[in-house]
Chains A and B, each alone.
Chain A
C-alpha cells in the first residue's frame, strides 16, 4: 500500500527554494549542537546507582568536606547522548583517511581493544605479588622480544609513557653511559633542523646544549656538516630516520660510525618506524637508542591525543643504563620484575625510574595483538604498502603542488609538498581548511620547518587505492582553487561543525575552565 494515497511524491526542490533556513535550535539535521555538562547537568542528578553506605561514624579528623565541589551529573541516557553527540563533531580514522604526516594514523584493529579488556589484563593491580601476574609480565616480555628482534637491537626499556618520554629515556641512558666512562663533560647534542620539537626540548631538559644541523637541498641531514661538527664536546646526535621530509637518511651508517669514533652516541627518533618495519633493522645502522611509538607503528589508538606508549630499544653499550623497572625471564620460565630492590645486583648502572609502575600495559596488549596478527611477513608488507601509498600520492600530485624533494628519490612513508606557487594571500592553511570541506582530515601543515608552508602527507598502509584516488582528486581540486585565487577557500571550512576559530583570542584572554557566567560574557 502506498503511504501517500493522494499520489503525491517528494521531488527535488527548485534550487532557489533550497537555500538553507536558520533553525531555532542551531542544529542542522544530523549536525547537533551540544551544550556543556555544566549548562545541562545538576549536582543533584546522578547516572550511577550506588548502595546505601554502611552505618558508622566518619573518621576524617577535621577534614570532612564542607563545600560543594560543583560537579554536574547526568542520568545515563543523557550522558550517552552528550558524549555521542560530541563524538560526532570529531573527524577520526574510522570515518576516513587521516593523512597527518609523522603521526601514522592507521586503522586501529578492534581485536586489540577486545584483548586489552580481558579481565586478566584489564583488572590486575601493578603491585600484585609477581607470582599472580606472570601473564602480564609475559606480555611485556614477549612484546620486548619482538621489538628487539624487529629493530636488531640489544635491549629495550618498556616503561616510557609516550614518544617524548621515550626520547628522554634514551637521552638519560646516553648521559648515564657517558658519565660512567668519565665523559660527563660532553654538553652538546646535535639535532637536524627538520627534527620534531620534542628532540631539542628533550635534550635541553637533560641539561644539554642543542645545536642545529642544516638540511641539504635534497631534504636530508647535511652529513658533511654534521661530521665536521663532531668532537669531544658532543654527547650525541638525535636523528629521525626516515626523516620528517619523508626521506631515508642514506648516510645513517656513516654518521653513526663517525659519532661512535669520537665517543658519542646516536639517538634515532623512531616516530617514522612504520616505513621500515620488517625491511631494515635500525641496529644495523649503528643506532644506540630509538623510541618506538606503539600508537603509530603498532596501531594502538591515538584517542584524541593519547595515551601513547614509547618503549626504547637500546644498543649493547646503552642497555646496562636503561630504566627500572623491567621484566627478566629466569631459566625456569618464571618472570621476575627487577625494581630498586634487586637492581643493585642485576642492573647496578640503571639511571633510575621514570614512572610509578610498569609502563602502558594496556598499550602493550594492543601492540602485541597487532604484531601477532601481522607476523613477520605482514609487518614487512605494512612497510611496503605504506611506502607505496606515499609514493603514489607524491607522484600523483607533484604536477599540482610543489614537491621540493621529489627529485631526491622515492619517499618513504610520507610525501612532502610546499606552498610554492600559491598566489598572494593564499596559504597552506587555506588548502587544509578546504580539504576539511571535502571530507578529509588535512595533512600535517607547517612542519617540517625546513620547507615553506609545508604539507606533509602520510596515508599509511591501511588505505585502499580507491580511497587514496579520492583524496588525491580532492587535494588536487583544492590546490587548483588556491592557485586560481578562489576567495571561498579563505573562509573554509563551510561545512564543518565550526568555521575557523579565533585562536588569538583564546590565547590572549585564556578561558580554560567554565565559569558560571552567561555565554555571551564568557566569549568576550
Chain B
C-alpha cells in the first residue's frame, strides 16, 4: 500500500523490540467481543491511484460545473476568478501539511501569514482588529451574537430581515441552547433595507442588532444611524458581509461604526467548492478583543530581539480555559485564510478596487438588460454585484427550467424561504467579473421565453 512505508521485515523487527508476537497482541485491551478478525465485510479493498481517479472523476462528471455554463448564483457564495498562483501557494507542502503553530520558532511562515491576514481583514472590514479566521460566515455570525451577549450581559438579539436565512437558521439552533432570544422577520420583496424598522425595535434589553450588508436581496444602506441607535441603548451593531469584494466599492461597516464585523471570505481566493471549506472573518473594536472567539496571532520578539509572531491571548480559548472558554472553537480555517490573504496581496488596493468596479458595473449593466425582459422587475435601487428580480411567476420552477436549458440563473427566494408566498417570485442574481455579456444575453432570452 503506497502510503505505508513499513515492510513486513520492519514489522517483525519492531514487534520483537516491543515484545509482542503478533500485531493483535497490541490490541489486547480491546474486549475480545469487539475485536474484528479481518477487514470489515462489504467494503472494497485498496485501489490504485488510477482506479480511484476514475471513480472520483465519474462522480465529478455528474455535476454541472459553474464555469461551463451561464452562471448567476450568489447568496453567500460567489464565483470569482482566482489567480493560478494562489492555488500554487496553498499547495506548498510547508503550508499545506503544517499544524497549528504551537511551536512558533518553526512556524513563522504560518504565523506571519496569520498576522498579515488579520491586518488585511481588519482594514477591509474597517475594524481595529480581526482574528485568524473562523469556520465560515454563518458560524462567525453566531459567535458574534454570543460575544455581544457576553459584552452587554443581555440576551436579546435583533436579526435583520436581510440576514441570510441559513445564518438565521444557525443562530436559531444555537440560541435554543444559550437562551438568547432572537427577534427575526422575513424580508420583503422591495427596496427597503429596513433600517428604520430595526431602529424602532432596539430597547434597553437589546444585546445587538445583526445586519447583513449587502443583504440577502443585494440591498445596501448606510448603517450609521443604526449604529448610533444601538450605541444610544448600549447595544452593539454586528454587521455581516458575505461578499467581501463589495468592500472595494462601498464603505466598510467599521467606518459606519459597527462594533463587530463578521463575514464570509470565500469570494477571495477560496472558490465555490459546493459550500466548504470556506473562511469566516471576524473583526471588532479594540476594546472587545478579549471577548473574541478564535485564534489570534500577535507580534513579539525572540530572545535575540528579532521580530516574530506567536499565537496569543489564548487564555480565552478552550485548551486553556476549558469550560470557561469564550467558545469551543479549536480549528480555524488557516489554509483558506492563506488563500484569501494571497489573493488580496496579488490584487492590492488598486486591484481590489478595480475588481469591485468590474463586478458592480457589470451587475448594473446586467440588471438593466434583465429588467427589459417582459415580466421582470428590478427590485433594488442600489446594489453591489447582486440584485433581486421580481418575476411575474414563481421563480423556483423557472430556475429549474433554466437549469434544464443549461443556465444556472440565480437563487430563487423560494429555495431560501420555502413556503413564503410573498417572496416566491423573487430571483436573486449575482454578476461577477466571470460573467460575460453573452451569459447575460443568454439568461435574458431564456428568461423571456420562460416568462412568456
Please determine whether A69 and B123 come into contact, CB atoms closer than 8 angstroms: yes
> In whole angstroms, what is the CA distance A359 to B138 when docked?
12
User: Is A320 in contact with chain B by the CB < 8 A criterion?
Assistant: no
Stretch at the interface among A13-21, A227-235, A480-488, A497-505: A497-505
Interface residues of A in 398-421 (CB under 8 A from B): 409-410
**A465-B14 in contact given A100-B99, A302-B98 (Cβ < 8 Å):** yes
Residues of A within 8 A of B354 (CB): 46, 50, 53
The residue of chain B having its C-beta at the shortest distance from the C-beta of A285 within the complex is B34
Please determine whether B115 and A82 come into contact, CB atoms closer than 8 angstroms: no
Please determine whether B400 and A129 come into contact, CB atoms closer than 8 angstroms: yes
> In whole angstroms, what is the CA distance A197 to B321 when docked?
8
Mark each residue of chain B from 399 to 426: 1 if its CB lies under 8 Å from any CB of chain A, else 0: 1100100001001000110110000000
B53 to chain A, nearest CB (A): 7
User: Is B21 in contact with chain A by the CB < 8 A criterion?
Assistant: no
User: Is A136 in contact with chain B by the CB < 8 A criterion?
Assistant: yes
Indicate which residue in A76, A119, A165 contacts B139 across the interface (CB closer than 8 Å). Answer: A165
User: Is B173 in contact with chain A by the CB < 8 A criterion?
Assistant: yes
Mark each residue of chain B from 337 to 362: 1 if its CB lies under 8 Å from any CB of chain A, else 0: 01000101111111111110110111
Please determine whether A92 and B315 come into contact, CB atoms closer than 8 angstroms: no
Residues of A within 8 A of B325 (CB): 197, 201, 204
Residues of B within 8 A of A134 (CB): 62-63
> In whole angstroms, what is the CA distance A103 to B97 when docked?
12
Residues of A within 8 A of B118 (CB): 512-513
The residue of chain B having its C-beta at the shortest distance from the C-beta of A504 within the complex is B300
Please determine whether B221 and A388 come into contact, CB atoms closer than 8 angstroms: no
User: Is A263 in contact with chain B by the CB < 8 A criterion?
Assistant: no
**A436-B17 in contact given A123-B67, A132-B64, A340-B418 (Cβ < 8 Å):** no
**A502-B307 in contact given A279-B27, A464-B5 (Cβ < 8 Å):** no
User: Is A224 in contact with chain B by the CB < 8 A criterion?
Assistant: no
Q: Count A-B contacts at CB 8 Å.
A: 738
**A88-B61 in contact given A44-B349, A369-B56, A505-B301 (Cβ < 8 Å):** no
User: Is A47 in contact with chain B by the CB < 8 A criterion?
Assistant: yes
Please determine whether B139 and A355 come into contact, CB atoms closer than 8 angstroms: yes
User: Is A24 in contact with chain B by the CB < 8 A criterion?
Assistant: no
B278 to chain A, nearest CB (A): 8
**A375-B44 in contact given A161-B277, A205-B328, A510-B298 (Cβ < 8 Å):** yes
Mark each residue of chain A from 184 to 215: 1 if its CB lies under 8 Å from any CB of chain B, else 0: 00000000000011101111111100100000
Mark each residue of chain B from 291 to 321: 1 if its CB lies under 8 Å from any CB of chain A, else 0: 0000111111111111111101111011111
User: Is A260 in contact with chain B by the CB < 8 A criterion?
Assistant: no
> In whole angstroms, what is the CA distance A500 to B122 when docked?
28
**A359-B248 in contact given A132-B408, A253-B34 (Cβ < 8 Å):** no
> In whole angstroms, what is the CA distance A125 to B61 when docked?
15
> In whole angstroms, what is the CA distance A354 to B177 when docked?
13
> In whole angstroms, what is the CA distance A462 to B279 when docked?
29
> In whole angstroms, what is the CA distance A513 to B306 when docked?
17
Please determine whether B300 and A505 come into contact, CB atoms closer than 8 angstroms: yes
Indicate which residue in A113, A117, A497, A511 contacts B106 across the interface (CB closer than 8 Å). Answer: A497
User: Is A29 in contact with chain B by the CB < 8 A criterion?
Assistant: no
Residues of B within 8 A of A93 (CB): 93, 97-98
User: Is A506 in contact with chain B by the CB < 8 A criterion?
Assistant: yes
The residue of chain A having its C-beta at the shortest distance from the C-beta of B131 within the complex is A512
Please determine whether A361 and B52 come into contact, CB atoms closer than 8 angstroms: no
> In whole angstroms, what is the CA distance A232 to B330 when docked?
31
Please determine whether B63 and A64 come into contact, CB atoms closer than 8 angstroms: no
Please determine whether A307 and B331 come into contact, CB atoms closer than 8 angstroms: yes
Please determine whether B104 and A372 come into contact, CB atoms closer than 8 angstroms: no
Mark each residue of chain B from 53 to 76: 1 if its CB lies under 8 Å from any CB of chain A, else 0: 101111111111111100101011
Please determine whether B99 and A519 come into contact, CB atoms closer than 8 angstroms: no
B225 to chain A, nearest CB (A): 12
Please determine whether B99 and A65 come into contact, CB atoms closer than 8 angstroms: no
Please determine whether B52 and A373 come into contact, CB atoms closer than 8 angstroms: yes
User: Is A126 in contact with chain B by the CB < 8 A criterion?
Assistant: yes
Residues of A within 8 A of B247 (CB): 65, 69
Please determine whether B130 and A513 come into contact, CB atoms closer than 8 angstroms: yes
User: Is B79 in contact with chain A by the CB < 8 A criterion?
Assistant: yes
Residues of A within 8 A of B403 (CB): 128-129, 131-132
Indicate which residue in B31, B39, B135, B313 contacts A377 across the interface (CB closer than 8 Å). Answer: B39
> In whole angstroms, what is the CA distance A418 to B39 when docked?
36
User: Is B382 in contact with chain A by the CB < 8 A criterion?
Assistant: yes
Please determine whether B173 and A353 come into contact, CB atoms closer than 8 angstroms: yes
Please determine whether B106 and A76 come into contact, CB atoms closer than 8 angstroms: no
Residues of B within 8 A of A354 (CB): 139, 170, 173
Please determine whether B330 and A60 come into contact, CB atoms closer than 8 angstroms: no
User: Is A315 in contact with chain B by the CB < 8 A criterion?
Assistant: no
User: Is A133 in contact with chain B by the CB < 8 A criterion?
Assistant: yes
A505 to chain B, nearest CB (A): 5
Please determine whether A373 and B3 come into contact, CB atoms closer than 8 angstroms: yes
Please determine whether B321 and A201 come into contact, CB atoms closer than 8 angstroms: yes
> In whole angstroms, what is the CA distance A134 to B331 when docked?
30
Residues of A within 8 A of B310 (CB): 501, 503, 506
B135 to chain A, nearest CB (A): 4
**A197-B169 in contact given A126-B274, A373-B47 (Cβ < 8 Å):** no
Please determine whether A91 and B276 come into contact, CB atoms closer than 8 angstroms: no
The residue of chain B having its C-beta at the shortest distance from the C-beta of A411 within the complex is B26
Stretch at the interface among B84-92, B147-155, B197-205, B229-237: B84-92
Mark each residue of chain B from 161 to 174: 1 if its CB lies under 8 Å from any CB of chain A, else 0: 00010110110110
Please determine whether B77 and A392 come into contact, CB atoms closer than 8 angstroms: no
Please determine whether A74 and B345 come into contact, CB atoms closer than 8 angstroms: yes
A-B residue pairs in contact (CB < 8 Å), sample of 6: A45-B350, A120-B65, A281-B34, A302-B98, A503-B312, A513-B123
Contacts A89-B109, A340-B418, A381-B4 given; 15 further ones with Cβ under 8 A?
A37-B116, A45-B348, A64-B251, A87-B89, A149-B40, A161-B276, A279-B36, A304-B100, A355-B276, A356-B136, A363-B277, A384-B23, A409-B29, A442-B103, A502-B300
Give the top 5 A-B pairs by smallest Cβ distance, nearest first. Answer: A73-B348, A120-B60, A357-B275, A303-B335, A94-B93
